[in-house]
A and B are shown apart, each in its own frame.
Chain A
Amino acid sequence: MWRRAWQGLSAIVAAIANWRFFKPAVFIACLMPAFVIAYELGQLFLWDQPDALGADPAKALLHESGEDALALLLITLCITPVRRLSGINRLQSVRRMLGVWSFVYAMVHVGFYLVFEQLCYSWQTCQVGAIGEDLVKRPFIIAGMVAFTIMVTLAVTSTSGWVRRLKKNWQRLHRLVYIAATAAIVHFIWIQKSDLSEPLRWGYWLAVLFVLRLYFAIRKRRETRPVTVTS
């Protein structure tokens, strides 16, 4: 029964992945959260609806953009395991795009921090000293910055040119994405006051991905191990 369910699911995923407009469709889907954020910013600053996001709009926007980035990062990390398990190679064609979109939302998230928390909407108001202090003294900011720095590096080196230039090292470098995801979840956990259920939900997802990686690594080692002949 499980086998049939799996086959059915694979068939559906394959049909979607092989659709002519698969890539543009994923692109538009990734754009949706940006529209939502843009609309909310409009409510806040253009259309005079200061209550639309609740009493603390900055917190709402920071939370939302951070979750968008984290969700897209974890979806990106799902692509390879799902491809390997299902054999649908076309999935790979959207992995880079998903990763870059995750980076875009991480950038928006950092931008909101800079503008709302550190008043960097102008040079005069920007609290440069406070940012420096945050980066040195506050563990959750450090964890977030670790994640973000990795994501900047990976986004810059995501082009085909860099793939060619770095050769084997490209894959090694891009494995850092797991550190970025871990750091992002640690960042989320460390800002909580007591209830960890929300960040841990993402943590479980990441843990499953780690287990799958481990499974593939073990399988690969088994396959490549030379066959010893016993007499």
Chain B
Amino acid sequence: MLIRIKTSADIPSSEITPEHVYRSRRDFIRVAAAGAVGAVAGTVLSGGGGGVDAQASLAALPNAKRNSAFVVDETVDPLTSYEQITTYNNYYEFGTRKSQPAQNAHILKVRPWTVKVDGLVNKPGDYGLEDLVDFNQLEERVYRHRCVEAWSMVMPFIGVPLSSVLKRVEPRPSATFVEFTTVFRQSEMPLWERAGIELPYIEGLRMDEALHPLTLMAVGLYGKVLPNQCGAPLRVHIPWKYGFKSGKSIVRIRLTDKQPLNTWQLQRADEYGFYANVNPTVPHPRWPQDREQRLPSPFKERKTLMFNGYADQVASLYSGMDLKKFY
């Protein structure tokens, strides 16, 4: 169990917005405003505490306003419940079963947190969380999340555009790719040997993908800081790509001029590529990708959309590319 020392900035769990309240936007704003008077941006540094039971103790992010440019039609894509999002995770360092990260990820210590920034940047160095992410600029976005395993969810993330993070470290013009490394601490990941993949987990994006306004550096979910199993304290989210592209618990950001070798491509290059754009016309070798299961529905009945429904915003990034070849 993690012993948490309360700081003055901590909000008592009784004042954290429950999900049913959250669902009504008006109520949310009212309750959060009442509960969070005086709460400063530093609140979030209290981090993702431990275990399923302790989730209620996650700090709130009350000043993140929803950005109406990045929402979904909730009559078509209703939000997946907090319970489902936080108990069904792929985070192999904490176990390969979907339920295991929720049980084990609390062991990970997410405070203090530093991110090493290196490679082709003008300002390399070890950055604290708040030095990379401007907590006064947090915004909420509702994103569809499509896993390569053909299930999907809809999640309200809180974060900042990744481009704002990159701007702070000043990538050099020669930098054409970004590589993200996920935390790997054997002592805090009892099941890491069972992961069956190379660790630490590596992911990467092309520079124009990283700078795209849709690409989010997330620090929160459902009005609170990210729970550990969802990638606390900061994770990337790229809604038009399969979920494995969105690296969790980032400890290193490296700017490079060579395409990074991401973990799943290293694992099985015939099944997982570098781009991993959601694409119903390119099946995974072992299963089709033209339909998906919108959890918690048991039926694989939803048609998968090109670029996960974000085609009008991102298709131009790939014009002229053979997406069957660059899967």
**Is A191 a contact of B286 with CB atoms below 8 Å?**
yes
The residues in B between 67 and 123 inclusive whose CB is less than 8 angstroms from any CB of A are 80-81, 83-84, 87-88, 92, 96, 98-99
A56, A119, A134, A195: the one within 8 Å of B295 (CB): A56
- Distance in angstroms from B68 CB to nearest chain A CB is 28
Supposing A195-B96, A196-B196 touch, asked if A54 and B87 sit within 8 A by C-beta, the answer is yes
> Could you say which residues of chain B place their CB within 8 Å of the CB of A57?
296, 298
Q: How big is chain A's contact interface, by range? A: 20 to 34
- Decide if B299 is an interface residue (CB 8 Å cutoff): yes
Write out, one digit per residue, whether chain A residues 35-61 have a CB within 8 A of any chain B CB (1) or not (0).
000000000100000110011111101
- Decide if B300 is an interface residue (CB 8 Å cutoff): yes
- Decide if A124 is an interface residue (CB 8 Å cutoff): no
Write out, one digit per residue, whether chain B residues 258-274 have a CB within 8 A of any chain A CB (1) or not (0).
00000000010000000
**Is A197 a contact of B194 with CB atoms below 8 Å?**
yes
- Distance in angstroms from A65 CB to nearest chain B CB is 13
- Distance in angstroms from A187 CB to nearest chain B CB is 11
- Decide if A138 is an interface residue (CB 8 Å cutoff): yes
Q: Which residue of B lies closest to A58 (CB)?
A: B298
**Is A139 a contact of B286 with CB atoms below 8 Å?**
yes
> Could you say which residues of chain B place their CB within 8 Å of the CB of A191?
286
- Distance in angstroms from B290 CB to nearest chain A CB is 8
The docked-state distance in angstroms from the alpha carbon of A59 to that of B99 is 12
Q: How many residues of B contact A (CB 8 A)?
A: 30
- Decide if A22 is an interface residue (CB 8 Å cutoff): no
> Could you say which residues of chain A place their CB within 8 Å of the CB of B96?
193-195
The docked-state distance in angstroms from the alpha carbon of A140 to that of B295 is 23
B84, B92, B288: the one within 8 Å of A55 (CB): B84
**Is A116 a contact of B151 with CB atoms below 8 Å?**
no
> Could you say which residues of chain B place their CB within 8 Å of the CB of A118?
300
- Decide if B293 is an interface residue (CB 8 Å cutoff): yes
Write out, one digit per residue, whether chain A residues 99-136 have a CB within 8 A of any chain B CB (1) or not (0).
00000000000000001111100000101001001100
- Distance in angstroms from B327 CB to nearest chain A CB is 16
The residues in A between 156 and 202 inclusive whose CB is less than 8 angstroms from any CB of B are 190-191, 193-197
The docked-state distance in angstroms from the alpha carbon of A50 to that of B88 is 14
**Is B286 a contact of A44 with CB atoms below 8 Å?**
no
Supposing A54-B88, A55-B84, A56-B295 touch, asked if A190 and B300 sit within 8 A by C-beta, the answer is no
- Distance in angstroms from B300 CB to nearest chain A CB is 5
A50, A59, A133: the one within 8 Å of B288 (CB): A133
**Is A56 a contact of B92 with CB atoms below 8 Å?**
no
Q: Which residue of B lies closest to A112 (CB)?
A: B298
Residues of A within 8 A of B (CB): 44, 50-51, 54-59, 61, 115-119, 125, 127, 130, 133-134, 137-140, 190-191, 193-197
